[in-house]
Amino acid sequence: MSDNRGRDGGFRSAGRDKSDRKPGDKKGFAPRGEKRGFAQREDKPAFEKKEHTGKREYTGKMDHGPKKDYGPRKPFAGHGSAPHGDKPHVRGPVHKGDKPYKPNNLGPRRVALETLLDVSRSDAFAALALDKRMNTAMFSRRDRAFTTQLVYGTLENKIALDWRIDQFLDGDKALDPVIREILRMGAYQLFYLDRVPDMAAVDESVSLARAMGMEALTGLVNAVLRSMIRGKEDVVWPKPQDDPVKYLSIMFSVPGELAEMLIEAYGEHGALEILRYRPKDRAVTIRVNNLRCDDARLRSLLADEEMEFAPGIVPGTYKIMHAGDLTRMRAFQNGLFTIQGESSVIAARAVGAKPGQTVLDACAAPGGKTAVLSEMMNDTGRVYAWDTHAHRVELIRGTANRLKLENVRPAVKDAAVERPDMAMTLDAALIDAPCSGTGVMLEKPDVKYRVTREGVMSLCRTQAEILDAIAPMVKVGGTLVYSTCSVLPAENEMQIRAFLERHGEYEVVKLGDELPEALAAHEGDCGIQMLPYRDGTDGFYVCKMRRVRA
pLDDT digits (tens, 9 = 90+) for 447-487: 999 999 999 999 999 999 999 999 999 999 999 999 999 99
Q: How confident is the model at residue 179 (pLDDT cuts 50, 70, 90)?
A: very high
pLDDT at 525 over 60: yes
What is the predicted pLDDT for the residue at 307? 93
**Domains of the chain (ranges plus CATH)?**
6-28+75-237 (1.10.940.10), 284-339 (3.30.70.1170), 342-547 (3.40.50.150)
Share above pLDDT 70 across residues of the chain, in percent, rounded to a whole number? 80
Task: Specify whether 435 is catalytic.
Answer: no
Q: What is the mean pLDDT of the chain?
A: 84
Rounded to two decimals, what is the model's pTM?
0.79
Q: How far apart are the first and last CA of the chain?
A: 31
- Reported as a single tens digit per residue, the pLDDT across 361-386 is 999 999 999 999 999 999 999 999 99
Percent of the chain with pLDDT over 90: 74
Query: In this predicted structure, which of 10-24, 248-262, 358-372 has the lowest mean pLDDT?
Result: 10-24
Task: Output the pLDDT for position 172.
Answer: 59
- pLDDT of residue 412 exceeding 60, the answer is yes
Q: Which of 130-139, 165-174, 284-293, 362-371 is the least confident region? A: 165-174
Write down the pLDDT at residue 505.
Answer: 97
CA 483 – CA 369 distance, rounded (Å): 11
- pLDDT value, residue 392: 96
Per-residue pLDDT at 526 exceeds 70: yes
Q: What is the pLDDT of residue 8?
A: 40
Rounded CA-CA distance 426/252 in Å is 44
What was the pLDDT predicted at 71? 42
Choose, from 363, 435, 460, 485, the residue flagged as catalytic: 485
The predicted pLDDT at position 171 comes to 66
Residues with Cβ within 8 Å of 470's Cβ and at least 6 positions away in sequence, in order, are 360, 362, 415, 429, 431, 480
Evaluate if residue 338 carries a pLDDT over 90: yes
Write out pLDDT tens, residues 75-100.
Answer: 333 333 333 333 333 333 333 333 33
The bridge status of strand 358-361 relative to strand 426-432 is parallel
* pLDDT, position 128: 92
Asked whether residue 56 carries a pLDDT value surpassing 90, the answer given is no
What is the C-alpha R_g of the chain?
27
Are 385 and 370 in contact by the 8 Å Cβ rule? The answer is yes
| pLDDT value, residue 69 | 42
Least confident interval from 32-36, 281-285, 452-456:
32-36
pLDDT of residue 510: 95
Q: Identify the pLDDT of residue 27.
A: 43
Structural contact between residues 356 and 380, judged by C-beta atoms closer than 8 angstroms: yes
Average pLDDT over residues 171-200: 91
pLDDT at site 282: 83
> Which tops the pLDDT comparison, 285 or 41?
285
Determine phi and psi for 259, rounding to 5 degrees: -60, -40
Quick one: residue 520, left, alpha or beta (phi over 0 = left, psi -120 to 50 = alpha)? alpha
**Has residue 19 got a pLDDT over 60?**
no
pLDDT on residue 135:
86
pLDDT at 60: 40
Bridge partner list, 525 = 527
- 10 pLDDT higher than 90: no
Cβ atoms 499, 304 nearer than 8 A: no
pLDDT at 173: 61
